[in-house]
Amino acid sequence: MCGRTACTLAPDEVSRACSYRSRGGQRRQPRWRDGDADKYRPSYNKSPQSTSPVLLSQRHFDKDAPVDECVLASMRWGLVPAWFKEDDPRKMQYSTSNCRSENILEKKSYKSPLNKGQRCVILADGFYEWRREEKSKQPFFIYFPQTPSGSSQEKTEDQDDLATSAQSKETSERACSAEGGAFDSTEEGEAPCEWTGWRLLTMAGLFDCWTPPGGGEALYTYSVITVNASPNLQSIHDRMPAVLDGEEEVRRWLDFGEVKSPDALKLLQTKNSLTFHPVSSLVNNSRNNSAECLQPVDPGCKKEPKPTASSKRMMSWLTSSAPTKRKESDCCESEQQQQKGKSKTPLKSTGALQLWLQGANKKPKTN
Answer whether 255's CB lies under 8 Å from 57's CB.
yes
Cβ density class 95-105: b for 16+ within 10 Å, e for less:
ebbbbbbeebe
The number of distinct structural domains making up the chain is 1
Report yes or no on 245 lying in a domain: yes
CB 310 within 8 A of CB 359: no
What is the DSSP secondary-structure string of 160-216? Answer: TSHHHHHHHHHHHHHHHHHTT--SS--STTPPPPPP-S---EEEEEEEEEE--TT--
pLDDT digits (tens, 9 = 90+) for 208-243: 999 998 888 999 999 999 999 999 999 999 999 999
Greater confidence (301 vs 157) lies with 301
Residue 78 confidence (pLDDT) = 95
pLDDT confidence of residue 143: 96
For 129, the 3-state DSSP assignment is: strand
Provide the residue range defining the domain that includes 294: 5-157+199-304
Active site residues: 2, 129
Is 214 among the domain residues? yes
> What's the mean per-residue pLDDT of the chain?
77
315 in a structural domain = no
pLDDT digits (tens, 9 = 90+) for 149-206: 433 333 333 333 433 333 333 433 433 433 333 333 443 334 457 788 999 999 999 9
Q: Which residues have a Cβ under 8 Å from the Cβ of 209 and sit 6 or more positions away?
A: 82, 218, 219, 220
Say which residues have a Cβ less than 8 Å from residue 66's Cβ, sequence separation at least 6.
Answer: 22, 58
**DSSP 8-state class, residue 33:** P
- Does 41 reside within a domain? yes
The sign of the torsion formed by the CA atoms of 247, 252, 256, 257 equals positive
Q: Looking at residue 215, what is its pLDDT?
A: 84
The 10s digit of each residue's pLDDT in 3-56 is: 899 999 999 999 999 999 888 888 899 999 999 999 999 999 999 999 999 999
Strands 98-100 and 5-7: unpaired
Give 108's contacts (C-beta < 8 A, 6+ positions apart): 81, 83
Tell me: pLDDT of 73 over 80.
Answer: yes
Find the mean pLDDT for residues 313-332. Answer: 38
Query: Residues of the chain with pLDDT > 90: what percent?
Result: 58
pLDDT at 294 over 70: yes
Widest CA span in the chain: 64
Residues 6+ apart with CB under 8 A from 301: none
Q: Tell me, what's the pLDDT at 221?
A: 97
Q: What is the CATH number of the domain that holds 37?
A: 3.90.1680.10
Residue 1: pLDDT band (50, 70, 90) is low
In a domain, 341, yes or no: no
Whether residue 185 is contained in a domain is answered as no
Say if 71 falls within a structural domain. Answer: yes
Whether 35 maps to a domain, the answer reads yes
pLDDT band at 102 (very low <50, low <70, confident <90, very high): very high
Are the C-beta atoms of residues 32 and 72 closer than 8 Å to each other?
yes
Give the mean pLDDT of 240-247.
96
Which residues have a Cβ under 8 Å from the Cβ of 154 and sit 6 or more positions away? Answer: none
Concatenate the DSSP letters of all residues of 317-333 into one string: HHHHSPPP-----HHHH
